[in-house]
Amino acid sequence: QAKDKGRGTYHFYTESLTRSANERLALETRLRRALEQDEFVLHYQPLVALTDGRIFGVEALVRWQIPGEGLLYPNHFIPLAEETGLIVPLGEWVLRTACARMKTWLDAGLPLEMLAVNLSPRQFRQGDLYERIRAVLAETRLPSRYLELEITETALMEDGPENETKLAALKALGVRIAIDDFGTGYSSLAYLKRFPIDKLKIDQSFVRDIPQDTSNMEIAAAIIAMARNLKLEVLAEGVEAEAQLAFLKRHGCDVAQGYLFGHPVAADAMQATLEAAMGKG
Ligand code: C2E
Ligand code: MG
Ligand code: MG
Ligand code: MG
């Protein structure tokens, strides 16, 4: 994977599906301890409005800071955290930390409108999800309208009917719902009518090879058109090149995220960027 270049080698913490039972157990033990010892950090990536290029929000992305080893990226530990259930306490830590940070940024007068936080399928399945989210918002004093929860299609389609109630409750609380990695999960689009969704995030695999890959261009354009017709916001993930940006703008995409605008960075660096942008604006 190109994006893992330069991050050192993690022979032990491999993403490999063929990881042995012993290795998995060791990693699970290590993950559990990492939670207790506060080894996780959040990075924040700008969400940008395509009309004026303004950073209107940020997505929180978790990393594991292994002492003496460097940063480990979520693809290497989220799957196992999900499998073992450790994603529940980890996800709660992410939510609380991100909401608290957002609150300090708002209090400092930074012009942010949105904090996006990923919810794994297992987190979404929790019976008391609503109560947990409400509790974190109350505790951090972040007004609910700033929080956008990112859920994948796959998570949404598990169990069916009760998810409608769950989403309706979250909407009533005032949080926003985005479908992450849109287009990669589920083939029926009927759920877009059924669920109270605010935004579609076009998966980066459809953005990657624009303008070389014509079928990707067709798919991206179709998702944008559909979202607009359904009165949903639409964000393009993984925008790395001017040509992609031009294409997305031409097709009426609202917002985007990607290395072209900014990599995910630590909170301090994000704050410096936001302050600099405010100074210019
Ligand atoms: P995601 O939610 O779709 O997040 C976007 C991913 O794309 C991030 O990878 C981000 O760094 C990467 N990205 C952003 N712009 C570009 C670009 O221009 N080009 C390319 N090639 N990549 C770009 P990251 O941080 O490694 O996270 C990977 C996935 O791990 C996330 O995908 C999300 O599914 C999961 N994840 C991250 N943080 C959390 C979390 O706190 N909780 C849960 N449950 N999952 C998380
Ligand atoms: Mg996401
Ligand atoms: Mg995504
Ligand atoms: Mg993804």
- Say yes or no: ipTM exceeds 0.90: yes
How many angstroms separate the Cα of 182 from the Cα of each of 70, 102, 187, 192, 236?
A: 31, 25, 10, 11, 10
State the distance from the centre of ligand 2 to the C-alpha of 151, rounded, in angstroms: 8
Residue 3 is predicted with a pLDDT of 40
First to last CA, the chain: 37
Record the tokens describing residue 279, joined without a space.
């100074």
- Please state the φ and ψ torsions of residue 226, each to the nearest 5 degrees: -65, -45
pLDDT digits (tens, 9 = 90+) for 127-186: 999 999 999 999 999 999 999 999 999 898 887 678 889 999 999 999 999 999 999 986
In sign, the C-alpha dihedral spanning 19, 24, 30, 34 is positive
Angle between helices 87-107 and 267-280 (to 10 degrees): 30
3-state class (DSSP) for residue 124: helix
pLDDT digits (tens, 9 = 90+) for 86-108: 999 999 999 999 999 999 999 99
Q: Which atom of ligand 1 is nearest to the CA of 257?
A: 15
- Please state the φ and ψ torsions of residue 119, each to the nearest 5 degrees: -115, 125
CB 118 less than 6 A from any atom of ligand 1: yes
State the distance from the centre of ligand 3 to the C-alpha of 130, rounded, in angstroms: 22
